[in-house]
Amino acid sequence: MNSGMGVRPVPRRTEVGSGGRRTGRLRVAPTRRLVLARSGAAVRRACDGWRRAGDPIAFVPTMGAIHEGHQELMRRARSSAGRLVVSVFVNPLQFGPNEDFRRYPRPRARDRRLIAAAGADLLWEPRVTDVYPAGDSTRVRVAGLDEVLEGASRPGHFAGVTTVVLKLLNVVQPDVLWLGQKDAQQARLIEQMVEDLFLPVRVRRGPTVREPDGLARSSRNAYLDTEARRQAVALSLGLSEARRALERGERSAAALRRIVRNVWKRYPRVREDYVAVVDASSLQPVSSVRRRVLVAVAARVGPARLIDNFEWGAR
């Protein structure tokens, strides 16, 4: 599909009857008439038309490799607005030099089918040169929030995230932007960017979607072999133990970190990157849980680097 084609509809395909069904771990439902767009100009034309018609627009940016977590986020977005736009763009700017940009999964046909099944109206699939044309030199940073947790482990990562999200928002101009809680730090940075730059969009978070054994659904779970997959559940098990300790009244951040690490000792293939208890707004470490906190973990399990978290306390 070349840029001259603008937008085109994906032929309607009814996957199942009106009730929908599950295929493996993914919910498949009757598809909508999904329009594919490559150029930003085509996306703007479509969105401008919906706005003129009075249809609010929800937007879900993704890097593809769609799983049930993405689909649940899209369903929530679908129910929040008259129209749903989804983007699939594997953003090179947020990958470090030794990270997995080239091998990141890109199952395009499957992604299109699952995005249509989740109720999207328009799927934007820009090329790298569409997002970063020759001469592109502007980068967006949310200072402070981008230097801790994932930012400390992956220098420059969040400048890539905030830059691309701002570019996508400027094209779609949605009424509501939906992000996943699994990437809690990313969501927090984007919330701050939206506030600081007076962007006219409401940011909402969808809860982390998990496998039956608790593992957070992630595109990078595909990297796990059988044994690594068995070990990866340690992340959610450690967090569950920390949550139970909070429910029992534990308030020491050091004790909570120790609880997570004690669980991980039973899983020798889990290599810690960080276990952190931080203020949910500033993302700065706390010594004691006195307000809303984010308990966040990152670890390497086999070839995959996985993250997980939960928030605790009143907003």
Residues carrying an active site annotation: 70
Q: To which residue do tokens 């559940």 refer?
A: 233
User: Using H for helix, E for strand and C for coil, what is the string for the chain?
Assistant: CCHHHCEEECCCCCCCCCCCEEECCEEECCCCCCEEECCHHHHHHHHHHHHHCCCCEEEEEECCCCCHHHHHHHHHHHHHCCEEEEEECCCHHHCCCCCCCCCCCCCHHHHHHHHHHCCCCEEECCCHHHHCCCCCCCCCCCCCCCCCCHHHHCCCHHHHHHHHHHHHHHHHCCCEEEEEHHHHHHHHHHHHHHHHCCCCCEEEEECCCECCCCCECCHHHHHCCHHHHHHHCHHHHHHHHHHHHHHCCCCEHHHHHHHHHHHHCCCCCEEEEEEEEEECCCCCECCECCCCEEEEEEEEECCEEEEEEEEECCC
What is the CB neighbour count within 10 angstroms for residue 174? 26
Q: Which residues pair with 169 in a beta bridge?
A: none
